[in-house]
Amino acid sequence: MFGTTLCDSPGSVTVDNWGTARGDIFKFNKPIGVPRCEAHNVRADGEEYSFADGKTYWFGWDSMTKTGDAQTVFQWKSNGTNDQNAQNYPVLMKVEDGKLKVWYVAPGEKWISIGTAPWSPGEWHSIQLGITTSSAESGTLAVYMDGTRIASRSDARTWDDRGNKPRWGTYWGTDDSTASINWIDGLKMGTTRADVG
Ligand SMILES: [Ca+2]
């Protein structure tokens, strides 16, 4: 369950059900005219979850995009405004050019590519992301797609000055000229990969 949706009209976050074993699925629909349709954080017992430094978190979810270009589909987003952040998004994933691309974004907006894998639109892909948070530079990252590790990083600063939270959806920065859809199903959170596989 997501914490808060960030999806201005005419975009929408809705629940689809196609009568398959998946049951309900979330649909992030970003039409032409708005640059983003996202949701951030998760809820536990009705409250938005509070993440912390020096912890290990795993997230697992299935994603299907309508096309091979949904731009940003995941951010480990820093709290506070851009002026308050040292890193706006220490971890970022895009679906772009028919690939899933993963970056560690170090302080100073240094984009470091840590993994890429082919991404088929119109098909479900399973993703697991592990983050060990560190406000020093001793954090770690790992990303698995469809059972294969496609990205990893150590010595990463994964906890910003005001903390971080996860964000999912489809986000195009300042570009609102392209429609995109990202369906998300089966979101899980835990402390090991086995918890979320
Ligand atoms: Ca479901």
Give one word for 68, left, alpha or beta, with left for phi > 0 and alpha for psi -120 to 50: alpha
**pLDDT band at residue 190 using 50, 70 and 90 as cut-offs:** very high
**pLDDT band at residue 184 using 50, 70 and 90 as cut-offs:** very high
Report CA(35)–ligand 1 centroid distance (Å). 26
Pairwise CA distance, residues 163 & 165, whole Å? 7
Report CA(107)–ligand 1 centroid distance (Å). 36
What pTM did the predictor assign? 0.97
Q: What is the mean pLDDT of residues 5-11?
A: 95
**pLDDT band at residue 193 using 50, 70 and 90 as cut-offs:** very high
Report CA(62)–ligand 1 centroid distance (Å). 9
Kindly state the DSSP code that residue 196 receives in the 8-state scheme.
H
Report CA(188)–ligand 1 centroid distance (Å). 11
Q: Is the pLDDT of residue 180 over 90?
A: yes
Report CA(197)–ligand 1 centroid distance (Å). 14
Average pLDDT score, the chain = 97
Report CA(159)–ligand 1 centroid distance (Å). 30
Query: Residue 1 has what pLDDT?
Result: 80
pLDDT (tens digit, 9 = 90+) per residue, 37-85?
999 999 988 899 999 999 999 999 999 999 999 999 999 999 999 999 9
Domain 44-171+184-196: give its CATH code. Answer: 2.60.120.200
Report CA(22)–ligand 1 centroid distance (Å). 4
Report CA(60)–ligand 1 centroid distance (Å). 13
Report CA(41)–ligand 1 centroid distance (Å). 18
Pairwise CA distance, residues 190 & 70, whole Å? 26
Pairwise CA distance, residues 125 & 34, whole Å? 26
pLDDT (tens digit, 9 = 90+) per residue, 141-158?
999 999 999 999 999 999
Report CA(24)–ligand 1 centroid distance (Å). 4
Report CA(5)–ligand 1 centroid distance (Å). 18
pLDDT (tens digit, 9 = 90+) per residue, 74-127?
999 999 999 999 999 999 999 999 999 999 999 999 999 999 999 999 999 999
Query: Residue 45 has what pLDDT?
Result: 85
Q: Where are the domains of the chain?
A: 44-171+184-196
Kindly state the DSSP code that residue 99 receives in the 8-state scheme.
E
- How many residues are present in the chain? 197
Report CA(186)–ligand 1 centroid distance (Å). 5
Query: Residue 42 has what pLDDT?
Result: 95
